[in-house]
Amino acid sequence: MSIFWSREARQVLIDTSAYYAALNLRAEHHAKALETFALVGSQRRILYTTNLIVAEAHALALTRLGRTVATDFLQRIYEGETGVVRVRAGDERRARHIILTHDDKDYTLTDATSFAVMERIGITTAFTFDRHFVQHGFTVLGLDEP
């Protein structure tokens, strides 16, 4: 992968499932998560997440892995190079529209706001283990081919 790609092609949104898999040593996708984090780092990808993803990942880490892991996660996010994009009111409106018009899908509000933020910023790739991103038409790092 070339570092000379366009900015848009290098952008990746990191989802809750990727963070949780990396944090949880017993997670089914733990090794794949670590491998993919190393890959996107070596490719000099521009990494983003949202404030809702951070909140969701922190809550999962806190309830399932403990306070120390959850606190360390927060410190690494806000001291690291991943841009935390704040979900806007327009993103929330778009997310509600996505949920209401895709009644055959079980998109969470966090999923749908992620889709809205990706559309707004022009991100086409997500690092996730959540098939909803594929269903909504995004390229996904982390998942094996269906």
Q: Is 134 left (phi over 0), alpha (psi -120 to 50) or beta?
A: alpha
Residue ranges per domain, the chain? 8-141
| Class of domain 8-141 (CATH, top level) | alpha beta
The pLDDT-based confidence of 146 (bands split at 50, 70, 90) is: very low
Contacts of 118 (CB under 8 A, 6+ apart): 13, 124, 126, 138
* Burial class for 135, CB neighbours closer than 10 Å (0-12, 13-18, 19+): middle
**Single pTM value for the model:** 0.91
| Extended strands (E) in the chain | 11-14, 46-50, 83-85, 125-127, 139-141
Nearest alpha-carbon partner for 102 in 125, 136, 126, 129: 136
Among the listed residues 67, 45, 70, 4, the one whose alpha carbon sits nearest the alpha carbon of residue 127 = 45
Q: In this predicted model, what pLDDT tens digit does every residue of 53-109 receive, in sequence order?
A: 999 999 999 999 999 999 999 999 999 999 999 999 999 999 999 999 999 999 999
Instruction: Please say if the pLDDT value at position 22 is more than 70.
Output: yes
Q: What is residue 36's DSSP assignment?
A: H
pLDDT tens for 97-142 read: 999 999 999 999 999 999 999 999 999 999 999 999 999 999 999 8
**3-7, 8-12, 47-51, 119-123: lowest mean pLDDT where?**
3-7
